[in-house]
Structure 1
Amino acid sequence: MPRPLIDASWRRVAAAGVDPGGAGGPAVLSDAEVSRLVFTGPLAPMIPVLRDRLEPVARASGQLLVVTGTDGTVLWQGGAPEVRRRADGLGFVPGAAWDEPTVGTNAIGTCLVLGTPVGVHGGEHFVDGHQQWTCAAAPLRDPVGGALLGVVDLSGPARTAHPGVLALVSAVAALAEHEVRAAHDRSLEQLRRIAGPLLARAEGRALVLAHDGRTAAATGFAGPARVALPAGLDGGHRLLPVLGPCRVEPLPGGWLVRLDDDDLSGADTAVLLDLAGDRPRLRVDAPTGSWVDVLGPRHAEILLALARAPQGLTAAELAGALFGDPARTVTVRAEVSRLRRAVGPLLATQPYRPADGVTLDVVLPGPGKVLLPGSVAPVVLALRAARGPAAGPAPG
């Protein structure tokens, strides 16, 4: 009898049409694209820690150390040369997609689905050619915001399996996150020293943001923990998520942001909820600028429900759309409160709806792709059913 997590994974990959015989190799990114992701992507600060702590173990135990992104793309490998040669024969190489829908049940792909450490041994792999392998993977998370950034994995021939490998990989993943958090805290402290005199002279509300959008200091109000900064930010008068209209000035290592305490209405603002990719994204285009942020599944469900009810929804109606239970209004109010902290003045209340002047549109997944995989919200299930079988199966 397979373990429950393996049984659930096999059901997912079978529904995705994965061939147990392994027909069709994983797609491979170019070397240049892989290098760009390694050196400039969100895992760049963690890879040296993982390499230093785990590659000697991998070499000594005849295993392969692998780091992937959130889509399962292999970004970096190290370890025993003979095992790397065997992995090459499976297409288990930098640039390869190693998620469940591509290669079936494996520690990397299943870890990405569950967000927890996972070990997969021998015959637990879905694809026949992988059943001579053992693997143990742990998630890598943003140590400040908590978002999933990727996975670290030790894989090798089944004979190299050891009961302590999963605990080791998990511990080193936690160490890498801790060291990155410590470096981030040091950079924020340096930014605070630079910005302190500026904030002391600032009138009204102002805050200092690091380049990644984390708040280093604020005056006149508490300020959010993080702001999703638009790509290519170069200062000037901009509309920023959570904050609204602002004046942005560059600082060494970050930005000084002065809030314009004017009307924060959403006049002439276009909001696009993009559900076609691997993760829900929100794009906002306003006269003063644009920004894009990644959403959690619950916030995506809320916006989807509001987009399908332009007249607005009461707390009870939204609870029905999210949970099938109109009585869960307390939970709904808490979730919408968190969402409004992220999107600022774009949402109105009583009833919940886009603010005046805000248009909210949705991009749905293409044919054969599942809308918000894992969601069981009634609004999502109803839309999946309306789109028909080509939209993919709903979770069991």
Structure 2
Amino acid sequence: MAVDLRAAHERFLTGPTGPARLAPVRRVVLDSWLRSRRSGVDPERVSPPVDLTGPDLAAYRREHVLAPLMPIVRRLLLDGAESDGLIIALADETGRLLWVDGDRAVRRDVERVGFVAGARWGERDAGTNAPGIALATDHAVQVFGAEHFTRSVQQWSCSAAPVHDPVTGRTLGVLDVTGRDPAASPQMLRLVRATVAAMESELAVRALRSLLASSPADPAPWPTARLEVLGTSSGALVRGGQRQPLTLRHAELLLLLGARPRGTTGEELAALLHPGTLSAVTVRAEVSRLRRAVGPLLGPSRPYRLAAPLRTDVDEVRQRLARADVAGAVEAYRGPVLPRSQAPGVQALRDELAAELRTALGRSTDVGALEAWTLSPAGADDWAAWRRLVQVQAEGSPGWLRARAHVDVLDRELAGPPARAGAARTAAARIAAARTGPAGRATPAQRP
């Protein structure tokens, strides 16, 4: 695949670019190549401008709205991953890198192509790259090796997602993970999106605190409504102390609209709601029925958006994780997000929250939180969590013996016939690594 991409890249730069000649190239990448070429980016050598350095850069970072969120980023993506060959970067809304951290050897290598704090890595400055595309399209994206526009960057892969102001919907910046091939794995993109969700939840909490501090005598306008979607077959809306049961479709719509405060088009909503084809007429009918059910909570015009803030129990879990309250997050997590839903947008949120929670548990030393999780239906068969319990307790203690015994039981269940025991342990280790994420102590292939 990499060879085909490099050949397509060469054809794009040197000759006609018909569909057949560029067949291996994804549409999102081809569009970015076209924008990069129109911007005059040199495909042979990247030279992003560095317009902030030294005290100026330090002052800009100190005052930036994303500055308080770096501890969250480091905790969820970086802690314990210094030897994993990955770096993280947080950039502002123009693509200017504010922080670059992670594996020292990789940082030295990427510095040679100008991937340093203060440099601008938007598409018009550096060509096709994950943070540049994420800002240009306002979507999470991955870029693999030869998909980069400039040849000097094609040894790297990256995953990135934009960060939004949860109140206004404005793009504040972009979070990126860069490295070799593992930096663009499916689980890495899930972790990046989950980290961004935690960042946005923390911003929402800060906005609420600021509002309450500025007008303590006024009743808080947020949250005015609460959506319950964890561990429930169809969800419920709580307003003014009254609990209103919802249909599954209405819960899906409210959850998806609440995650997109700037609004969404009918086409986007159709793709988020149904894995196949859903007509615009059907979407309009679904939204109309939802409007009759929830009244002024839903805005009257398109793009479809909520007319008032909506808090969800998913937000509660993420806010507790953002404060490093793993035990509180486990307590708030009553089960998967709308477990009966097959809507792609809901499935993505479900996977992101589970990955975020499992990542936090995989690094936690809170025995109580780990025990509560492993005793819950969601964590009863979580091999990585049981293994973590073994690691954080004194060897030979009652808790250690119980956890060790349960790990052995899970190993046997995974193994099946004795001949497959070795393969099963490898599979279990890979499952644990995928759940824990790249910030764990080893890659899936290295985990014991």
Structure 2 length normalisation: TM-score? 0.43
Structure having the larger proportion of residues in strand? 1
Structure having the larger proportion of residues in helix? 2
RCO greater where, 1 or 2, for CA within 8 Å and sep 6 or more? 2
